[in-house]
């Protein structure tokens, strides 16, 4: 006689649900010593840990790994809601790497788990996002995967050091067994960055862990390079890549589960001790080891700083999974042993990435800007000259209502400028990629640029961003076009790109502007002299026949160069050194005798940095008499902000020096009462008295109406 279905009545936040459980006695895990696990046994387990399970995995898109005939039978992954799913099951729309979109299940009550058991779900794979923001992860996940020759204990050793690295970048780490041989380490993060940025943060952390434990840990994607080490699987941070959920069973003998554990218990854990049979008692007796994880949300910025530092070291992108579209900057998808010396990287690339289709443009993000090299005078020949704007360089993509505002470091700035997003949708052609500069018209005077005010727009709080977008709206000045639809303008000479840009923005209205341009050198030099009074930075010369070259310095920039005599009133140490100067802090006296901090000089050879440290030790002043020892409310000093607004972890503390030495420096222009950029050392001026170093010596450009610059003089 056929087994009759059971009707489970399950209480939950939305009332009582009924779930039909058919073939409840079907064995999913054969007896491995502790007894078999049936479908009913699986449902009982999931219901017993449902509070902890849903606390950590609820309200997330969920992929189900199903074994209808048990773990020894056929398996398949279920992403879409199957036919006949109960009406109470909810879904959320997800976008996949290919650009496809479809709905995935979201679990938020115990009855959902019982239904999953009915469907033969063994392993649950939640996305690292919540249903209200499926594009920005709120979990940073790292999978420590022991390779042949290593085991769980090796993964535990790596996990402890990983915890230290994560703490150093502001993330509180939580550990769980994988249910197999590895260890999973998670951190709750604020959902401020999209998948690729979180993946880069994971890579930054992974590489730092590898540096600290090179004999035990590897980030090598290719198995032939891993050796007997623990692999840090950074690709689990990709979109549509998941790790087994906390408390999820695994399709292995004995019915092990992926179990959250406290750090103090991790060393004594055996990977298979937590099973469908044993885990409920642990949760009931000790509670969830990750109970406070939602209260410990950090930011991924510190991890991204590790990524940025590795870029400076020459370390770039790492490989993506084989079923992923070819991604920008990715190394060839071929094991090193199979690479051929006579083939370029491009010969290994897959066809054009499906990600292109998301924008409908020939150029897709991220894409680096074409750069300029400094010159002493404008070059001769076929050039177009433009004013050099002083703001944030940005390549902007627009496709329908989708906008991405790129930056020099390839991190999108879209969220910081909501008012520009609206203006871009209104003024840019659909499916376009335009290069330019985000600028800030001084919110008080309205007649010049204000870079300090622009910097204030980079703020983590959404409420503050919204407020500043109304009080201090930004503008965008366009000066090049990279793509219009699938027409790739980067392959065309600049004279064609300029004509296309003029046509594309012919009807543009503020805050979108088209930069002035001229082929007449005397006119350009007139701009060079006049426009500085409106806060501009110089003049750019662009070869008319040059194609757009990403990250290449093929343009020319003429900037103002001036000198000033400044007081050296302090220093900062060079990063990682205890007896080498990183930068010298410069000061100028006001008319009332206050020594203001005006900037730094910091470009010295390492040998000279150590010499300067020795030279300046007799001037170290720890007394309260130092002019910067006490912060006055209206006075700008280095101690008025101990950390950079761009880098919360960057130490800006300094060592005070008696203000007795004078140095001559080169600078381009002032922003308020400070040098706009880092100054350059020229020479010591032992013939000058410190008190003579005042603002009066600085050349002040004649003011010029910014509106005339933006409007082309009309």
What number of CA atoms fall less than 13 Å from residue 101's CA on the CB side?
9
Is 388 catalytic? The answer is yes
Residues 6+ apart with CB under 8 A from 309: 204
Identify whether 511 is preceded by a cis peptide bond (ω within 30 of 0). yes
Quote the radius of gyration of the chain (alpha carbons, Å): 30
CB 493 within 8 A of CB 549: no
- Structure tokens given for 87: 């009406």
What number of CA atoms fall less than 13 Å from residue 143's CA on the CB side?
20
Q: Between 110-118 and 50-57, two packed helices, what is the crossing angle to 10 degrees?
A: 100
Instruction: Give me the residue label for tokens 């627009």.
Output: 398
Bridging pattern class, strands 553-558 and 371-374:
parallel
**Which run of H or of E encompasses 166?**
helix 152-168
- Structure tokens given for 659: 């203000």
What b/e sequence results for 439-449 when a residue is b if at least 16 CB atoms lie within 10 Å of its CB, and e otherwise? bbbbeeeebbb
| Nearest-angstrom CA–CA distance, 407 and 387 | 20
Closest CA to 237 of 207, 202, 210, 190: 202
| Nearest-angstrom CA–CA distance, 318 and 324 | 13
Beta bridge partners of 512: 476
Note the helical H segments in 428-566. Answer: 451-455, 462-471, 494-504, 521-530
CB atoms within 10 A of CB 344: 9
| Nearest-angstrom CA–CA distance, 693 and 19 | 82
Note the helical H segments in 19-86. Answer: 39-48, 50-57
What number of CA atoms fall less than 13 Å from residue 388's CA on the CB side?
24
| Nearest-angstrom CA–CA distance, 114 and 118 | 6
First CA to last CA across the chain, in angstroms? 92
Task: Tell me whether residue 295 is exposed, middle or buried, using C-beta atoms within 10 angstroms of its C-beta: 0 to 12, 13 to 18, 19 or more.
Answer: exposed
> Which three-class secondary structure state does DSSP give residue 260?
strand
Q: Catalytic residue among 176, 388, 542, 559, which?
A: 388
> Which three-class secondary structure state does DSSP give residue 243?
coil
| Nearest-angstrom CA–CA distance, 362 and 482 | 8
- Residue 294 is given by DSSP the state G
- Structure tokens given for 432: 């376009």
| Nearest-angstrom CA–CA distance, 348 and 404 | 29
Distance from CA of residue 430 to its chain's centroid?
27
Instruction: Give me the residue label for tokens 């509180």.
Output: 172
**DSSP character string of 379-444:** PPSSEEEEEE--SEEEEEEEETTEEEE--TTS---GGG-HHHHHHHHHHSPSSEEEEEEEE-B-TT
Residues 6+ apart with CB under 8 A from 268: none
Instruction: Give me the residue label for tokens 């009931």.
Output: 284
Between CA 597 and CA 600, with CA 599 as vertex, the angle to 5 degrees is 120
Closest CA to 323 of 333, 331, 337, 335: 333
Question: Catalytic positions, please?
Answer: 388
């Amino acid at each position: 006689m056929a087994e009759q279905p059971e009707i489970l009545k399950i209480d939950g936040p939305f009332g009582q649900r009924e779930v039909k459980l058919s073939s409840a006695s079907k064995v999913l895990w054969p007896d491995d010593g502790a007894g078999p696990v049936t479908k009913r046994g699986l449902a009982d387990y999931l219901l017993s840990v449902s509070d902890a399970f849903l606390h950590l995995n609820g309200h997330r898109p969920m992929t189900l790994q199903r074994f209808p005939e048990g773990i020894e039978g056929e398996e398949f992954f279920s992403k879409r809601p199957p036919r006949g799913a109960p009406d109470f099951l909810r879904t959320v729309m997800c976008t996949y790497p290919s650009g496809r979109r479809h709905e995935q299940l979201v679990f938020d009550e115990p009855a959902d788990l019982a239904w999953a058991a009915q469907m033969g779900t063994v392993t649950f794979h939640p996305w690292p996002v919540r249903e209200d923001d499926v594009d920005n992860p709120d979990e940073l996940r790292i999978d420590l995967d022991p390779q042949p020759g290593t085991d769980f204990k090796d993964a535990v050793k790596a996990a402890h050091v990983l915890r230290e690295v994560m703490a150093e970048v502001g993330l509180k780490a939580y550990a769980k067994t994988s249910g197999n041989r590895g260890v999973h380490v998670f951190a709750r993060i604020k959902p401020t960055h999209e998948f690729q940025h979180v993946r880069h943060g994971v890579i930054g952390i992974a590489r730092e862990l590898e540096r600290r434990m090179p004999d035990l840990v590897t980030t090598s994607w290719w198995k032939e390079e891993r050796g007997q080490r623990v692999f840090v699987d950074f690709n689990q941070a990709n979109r549509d890549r998941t790790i087994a959920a906390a408390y999820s069973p695994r399709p292995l003998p004995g019915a092990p589960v992926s179990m959250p554990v406290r750090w103090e218990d991790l060393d004594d854990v055996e990977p298979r001790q937590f099973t469908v049979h044993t885990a409920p008692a642990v949760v009931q007796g000790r509670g969830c080891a990750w109970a406070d994880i939602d209260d410990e949300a950090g930011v991924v910025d510190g991890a991204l700083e590790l990524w940025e530092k590795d870029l400076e070291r020459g370390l770039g992108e790492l490989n993506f999974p084989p079923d992923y579209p070819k991604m920008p900057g990715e190394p060839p998808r071929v094991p090193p042993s199979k690479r051929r010396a006579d083939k370029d990287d491009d010969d290994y690339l897959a066809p054009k990435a499906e990600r292109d289709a998301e924008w409908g443009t020939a150029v897709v993000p991220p894409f680096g800007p074409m750069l300029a090299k400094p010159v002493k005078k404008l070059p001769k020949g076929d050039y177009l000259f433009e004013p050099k704007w002083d703001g944030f360089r940005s390549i902007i993509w627009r496709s329908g209502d989708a906008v991405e505002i790129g930056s020099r470091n390839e991190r999108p700035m879209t969220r910081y400028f909501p008012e520009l997003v609206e203006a871009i949708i209104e003024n840019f052609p659909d499916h376009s990629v335009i290069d330019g500069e985000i600028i800030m018209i001084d919110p008080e005077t309205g007649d010049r640029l204000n870079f300090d005010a622009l910097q204030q727009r980079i703020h983590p709080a959404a409420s503050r961003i919204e407020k500043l977008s109304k009080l201090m709206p930004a503008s965008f000045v366009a000066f090049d076009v990279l793509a219009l639809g699938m027409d790739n303008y980067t392959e065309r000479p600049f004279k064609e790109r300029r004509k296309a840009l003029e046509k594309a923005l012919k009807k543009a209205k503020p805050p979108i502007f088209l930069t002035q341009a001229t082929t007449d050198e005397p006119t350009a030099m007139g701009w060079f002299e006049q426009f500085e009074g409106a806060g501009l930075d110089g003049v750019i010369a662009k070869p008319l026949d040059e194609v757009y070259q990403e990250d290449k310095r093929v343009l020319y920039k003429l900037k103002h160069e001036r000198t000033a005599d400044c007081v050296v009133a302090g220093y900062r140490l060079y990063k990682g050194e205890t007896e080498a100067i990183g930068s010298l802090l410069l000061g100028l006296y006001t008319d009332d005798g206050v020594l203001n901090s005006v900037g730094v000089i910091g470009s010295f050879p390492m040998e000279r940095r150590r010499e300067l440290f020795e030279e300046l030790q007799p001037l170290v002043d720890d007394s309260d008499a130092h002019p910067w020892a006490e912060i006055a409310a209206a006075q700008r000093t280095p101690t008025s902000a101990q950390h950079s607004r761009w880098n919360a972890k960057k130490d800006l503390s300094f060592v005070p020096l008696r203000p007795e030495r004078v140095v001559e420096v080169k600078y381009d222009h002032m922003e308020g009462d400070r040098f706009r950029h880092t100054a350059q050392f020229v020479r010591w001026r032992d013939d000058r008295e410190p008190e003579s170093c005042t603002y009066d010596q600085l050349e002040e450009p004649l003011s010029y109406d910014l509106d005339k610059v933006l409007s082309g003089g009309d």
